[in-house]
Amino acid sequence: MCGIVGYIGDKQAEDLLLTGLKRLEYRGYDSAGLAVVGNGGLRVEKKEGKVDDLRKALSNGSMEGTLGVGHTRWATHGAPNDVNAHPHVSSDGAFAVVHNGIIENHGVIKKKLKEKGYQFDSETDTEVLVHLIEEVKREANLSLPEAVQQALTQVVGAYGIAVVSREDPDLLIAARKGSPLILGVGDGEYFIGSDAAPLVEHTRKVVYLSDGEIVTVRRSGYQVRTIDDEPLDKEVHELEWSLGEIEKGGYDHFMLKEIMEQPDALEDAMRGRVRPAEGEIVLGGLHQVWDQLRDADRIIIAACGTSWHSGLVGEYLIETFSRIPVEVEYASEFRYRDPIIREDDVVLVLSQSGETADTLAAVRQAQSRGALCLGICNVVGSTIARETDAGVYLHAGPEIGVASTKAFTAQVAVLSMIALKLSKGRTLSDAERKEHIQALAEVPDKVRAVLRQSDDALESMAQVYRYASNFLYLGRGYNFPVALEGALKLKEISYIHAEGYPAAEMKHGPIALIDRFMPVVFLAMKDSTYDKVLSNIEEVAARDGSVIAITDEENGELDELCEYVLRIPQTKEFLSPLLTVIPLQLLSYHIAVMRGCHVDQPRNLAKSVTVE
Ligand code: F6R
């Protein structure tokens, strides 16, 4: 979703901000802009399209100045065009604002401001905020930081903002409520970012702003206060990300890099936690709350998108190994439907970014009902990671491609660890648990083998299927969520319509779609559901459907029935999603590339969905 970068220091801001905006591109956006303050006053340039279009627009004359803000906009109010792009500037041209989030009461405020004579050039809620700050400042004769603070108390909704003014070239203001912002602390220079990506090459020291906080930054230092003007002493954290991790490292796309990184990401997620020699799982982040989790009456998993799919795998895992009932909820539904949450329930949220607005609202909902709320996040220091009572980091490294890949497998690995730990004294003997933990530890090497064996085969399959208009993905048991995930991966990056179903549901409707133009991907591992899946394959083949099957390397019996059979190493049934999802990710990737799609930044999508 929209991205913010800000700089104050002694370097020229323009190039630094443009590079920062490039690093934020992965979040998804449709226009970009900059405001720089220097001797020439305040200069603003903004453009519909990509950061490179903005750079071209600037090539006629650079913006001199060592203070500035930049923005990538993902349209919410008003079409993506030059006028609606940020920054937005006050009527007198004195200050400029960039904003992420949505001002919900913008209509009421706009009406009042119009009555006072303010004119609006854009259709954005951000321009309303700019004029509100202006009016508050004028009316009470306030300084800019005071006016920003007072104006924000009148605003309902979510915001992450950064403000610069030609009247004070030594001042950068930023504030947040519901939309993440980080302050990067350098040596005599400071940075603002909506995430760490634009900061990592400049500093590793960061301050995470929390909701309702405002920071005023000068070259000599910074001060964080609450929106109610209480001074705060914020901790400075060390960033985990490195520059190499947020660059493509020789790959054509971040998505491919992240697919290929999965063996390492899984090893990182398991390091020190999965201990096959001792037959133990150690999860330090859950240590304090373990007894409560172990004794929970019910576990509710809430998440969105791909994280919701890994939550479904989690349901199968946790119910199988702990016999604790698990419910999996779309966070967006959970937050609005007055769910029954009891004190002995544990709510577990999954979020790669740790910033998804609906998932964060589920956390707050759970906590307000007195339930323990645990988070499984990838981004260290993210809002969900900070607001949950305890949790486990994925340690999968930055995920830049909009389509989630390594976060899914890392989430499933962490859920497997939790489930196996919960099995103690319940469903598995010590010897069985040790064997299962050993199998989990072997997964990264098996993923390496899948990647080695299947990439070329999937590339040639993609040649055949790239013109398809529809796809079906079918699986049972642990592989039903993988079918959903395979369909989501294909539709989001290749724009081919795809549906995932439990294989048995096919005959309750989707079978009507089957003809020779319908590719059907079956997850047909030789597990407890195999015979039933085989019958479903026969049903599709009998209707001329074009079957692609993912199965075990030893299995030769599908060749006659299927157009393509992709064989992957065997593993225990509960671990198979960690392997079966890999070919589906690669198939989507190759089809999208062949269709000329923008793989890392698919149309209309944002990496981190910080609006409801
Ligand atoms: C799909 C995808 C999205 C995210 C969803 C939740 O590839 O990336 O469906 O999974 O927006 O995001 P997080 O996990 O950051 O809460």
Position 582 scores a pLDDT of 98
> What is the crossing angle of helices 443-465 and 262-270, to 10°?
150
Question: What tokens appear for 450 in the block?
Answer: 């899948």
Check if the beta carbon of residue 289 is closer than 8 Å to that of residue 390. yes
Position 258 scores a pLDDT of 96
Which residues does the chain have with pLDDT short of 50? none
Environment class of residue 39 by beta-carbon count within 10 Å: exposed (0-12), middle (13-18) or buried (19+)? exposed
Composition of the chain by helix, strand, coil, percent to 5: 40, 25, 35
- A 10 A CB-CB count for 555 gives 17
Instruction: Decide: 150 in ligand 1 pocket, CB within 6 A.
Output: no
- A 10 A CB-CB count for 243 gives 11
Ligand 1, atom 13, residue with closest C-alpha: 351
For the CA of 607, the nearest atom of ligand 1 = 8
For the CA of 308, the nearest atom of ligand 1 = 10
Mutational pocket test of ligand 1: of 27, 255, 352, 409, the residue with most ligand atoms within 8 Å of the beta carbon: 352
Question: C-alpha 596: how far from its chain's center?
Answer: 24
Q: ∠ at Cα 509 (504, 512), nearest 5°?
A: 110
Instruction: Decide: 608 in ligand 1 pocket, CB within 6 A.
Output: yes
For the CA of 309, the nearest atom of ligand 1 = 10
Ligand 1, atom 9, residue with closest C-alpha: 305
- A 10 A CB-CB count for 497 gives 12
Give CA–CA dist 388/326, Å, rounded. 19
Listed in sequence order, the residues at least 6 apart from 556 whose beta carbon sits closer than 8 Å to its beta carbon are none
Active site residue 2: yes
Position 593 scores a pLDDT of 97
Give CA–CA dist 567/583, Å, rounded. 10
Q: For residue 322, how far is its CA from the centre of ligand 1 (angstroms)?
A: 27
Give CA–CA dist 201/209, Å, rounded. 20
Q: Is 597 helix (H, G, I), strand (E, B) or coil?
A: coil
Question: What tokens appear for 47 in the block?
Answer: 């453009």
Position 90 scores a pLDDT of 97
Outline where 188-271 has alpha helix (H).
254-260, 262-270
Give CA–CA dist 192/344, Å, rounded. 40
Sign of CA dihedral 44, 45, 48, 49: negative
Question: For the chain, how big is the Rg over CA atoms in Å?
Answer: 25
Mutational pocket test of ligand 1: of 312, 330, 404, the residue with most ligand atoms within 8 Å of the beta carbon: 404
Q: For residue 611, how far is its CA from the centre of ligand 1 (angstroms)?
A: 13
- To which residue do tokens 């993506």 refer? 80
Ligand 1, atom 16, residue with closest C-alpha: 351
Give CA–CA dist 91/113, Å, rounded. 12
Position 75 scores a pLDDT of 84
Q: Is 499 helix (H, G, I), strand (E, B) or coil?
A: strand
List of E strands, 13-108:
31-38, 41-48, 67-73, 88-89, 95-100
Domains of the chain with CATH codes:
3-245 (3.60.20.10), 249-441 (3.40.50.10490), 450-612 (3.40.50.10490)
Q: Which amino acid is at 197?
A: A
Active site residue 607: yes
Sign of CA dihedral 181, 185, 190, 196: negative
Question: What tokens appear for 488 in the block?
Answer: 């989501």
Q: Is 461 helix (H, G, I), strand (E, B) or coil?
A: helix
Which residues is 570 bridged to in the sheet?
A: none
Residue length, the chain? 612
- A 10 A CB-CB count for 15 gives 13
Instruction: Decide: 403 in ligand 1 pocket, CB within 6 A.
Output: yes
Question: C-alpha 426: how far from its chain's center?
Answer: 35
Instruction: Decide: 359 in ligand 1 pocket, CB within 6 A.
Output: yes
- A 10 A CB-CB count for 432 gives 13
- To which residue do tokens 């962490």 refer? 414
Give CA–CA dist 269/142, Å, rounded. 50
